[in-house]
Amino acid sequence: MLIHFDQFEVLSFDCYGTLIDWETGILSALRPLLRAKGVKLSDAEILSFYAEIEPEVQQKEFCNYKTVLESVLSEFGNRFHFPLSDAEKSLLHDSLKTWPPFPDSVEMLSRLKQKYKLAVISNIDEDLFRYSNRLLQVEFDWIITAEQAGSYKPSRNNFYFAIDKIGEPKEKILHVAQSIFHDIVPAKAIGLTTVWVNRRQKQKGSGATRSASAQPDWKVPDLRTLVRLLESQA
């Protein structure tokens, strides 16, 4: 599909998996813990279990993301039969504060900020996102969190909430995300134009997100390619 990018005034982004390399962060936190507990899993298996467990937790009664991550770790313990200390339960949300941006995120967000208003729509707590925002080095015009919406993507509520907060017609918003499951499916369902950033194009499987099917309006391998497309139409 040909997108006329000049129709958009706002670019909204998923954060974790799109701007922040959450799979590297997740693995850096879980590998040493599982090894210490005597659990032998490949990186692909760790991410697959994570992709299965996290949405199950998020579908229950709403709680903040720190509690979600503690519950994810507890479920790893239940499945592989090891106990967790209080310090170990906080391992994931403590590590999230240092999860790295993808190599192109900081520069490309800075370039996009020169032309567009930027929003982030993320399954996160506001206080945790501040750590990631400092690493991304950009001032978002809107920060929309699961904590504000009271739900987790792929709920459509998060996107309706975001559109209302942004205050622009959805025709002027371009949503950019890596996760088909969390973002492309619900964003397309409510009529947003979407760009799929296929960060995992050289890897097998869907990583830390559940497998899902949807047709994005455009597909790019990274943010740098997206910026080139946007600038080519300027």
Task: Report pLDDT for 2.
Answer: 64
* pLDDT single digits (tens) 179-200: 999 999 999 999 999 999 999 9
Choices 3.40.50.2300, 3.40.50.1000, 3.40.50.10860, 3.30.505.10: CATH for 5-20+101-232: 3.40.50.1000
What are 12's strand-pairing partners?
Answer: 119, 175
Task: Report pLDDT for 3.
Answer: 73
d(CA 19, CA 89): 25
**Residue 202 binned pLDDT confidence (cut-offs 50, 70, 90):** confident
* pLDDT single digits (tens) 114-142: 999 999 999 999 999 999 999 999 999 99
* pLDDT single digits (tens) 73-103: 999 999 999 999 999 999 999 999 999 999 9
Q: Do domains 5-20+101-232 and 23-96 have the same CATH topology?
A: no
**Within a 10 A sphere around the Cβ of 224, how many other Cβ atoms?**
16
- Beta-carbon contacts of residue 22 (< 8 Å; ≥ 6 apart): 16, 96, 99, 208
d(CA 104, CA 193): 22
What integer is the mean pLDDT of 9-32? 98
pLDDT at 16 over 70: yes
Question: Angle 179-185-187 (CA atoms, 0-180°, nearest 5)?
Answer: 95
Task: Report pLDDT for 231.
Answer: 87
> What are the sequence ranges of the domains in the chain?
5-20+101-232, 23-96
Instruction: Tell me the C-alpha to C-alpha distance, in Å, between residue 18 and each of 21, 197, 224.
Output: 7, 7, 12
Range 23-96 classified under CATH 3.30.360.10:
no
% of the chain residues with pLDDT over 90? 93
Q: Which residue has the higher pLDDT, 229 or 71?
A: 71
**Residue 232 binned pLDDT confidence (cut-offs 50, 70, 90):** confident
Task: Report pLDDT for 6.
Answer: 86
pLDDT at 234 over 70: no
Residue positions annotated with a catalytic role:
14
